[in-house]
Amino acid sequence: MKQIYVLDACAMLAVLSKEQGADKVAAFYKKAASGEITLVMNKLNLLEVYYDLYRAYGKERADGFLAEIKKSPIVVNHELSDDIFTEAGRLKALYRISLADSVALAQTVVSGGALLTSDHHEFDSIETKESVGFVWIR
Write the pLDDT tens digit of every residue in 54-105.
999 999 999 999 999 999 999 999 999 999 999 999 999 999 999 999 999 9
pLDDT confidence bin for 1, thresholds 50/70/90: confident
Q: Specify the pLDDT at position 112.
A: 96
Task: State pTM to two decimals.
Answer: 0.94
Q: Tell me: pLDDT of 10 over 90.
A: yes
Q: What is the mean pLDDT of the chain?
A: 96
Q: Specify the pLDDT at position 118.
A: 96
Q: Is 40 within 8 Å of 5 (Cβ atoms)? A: yes
Average pLDDT over residues 3-30: 96
Structural domains in the chain, sorted by start:
4-136 (3.40.50.1010)
Q: Specify the pLDDT at position 124.
A: 94
Query: What one-letter code names the amino acid at 45?
Result: N
Q: Which helix (H) or strand (E) holds 8?
A: none
Q: Is 27 within 8 Å of 39 (Cβ atoms)? A: no
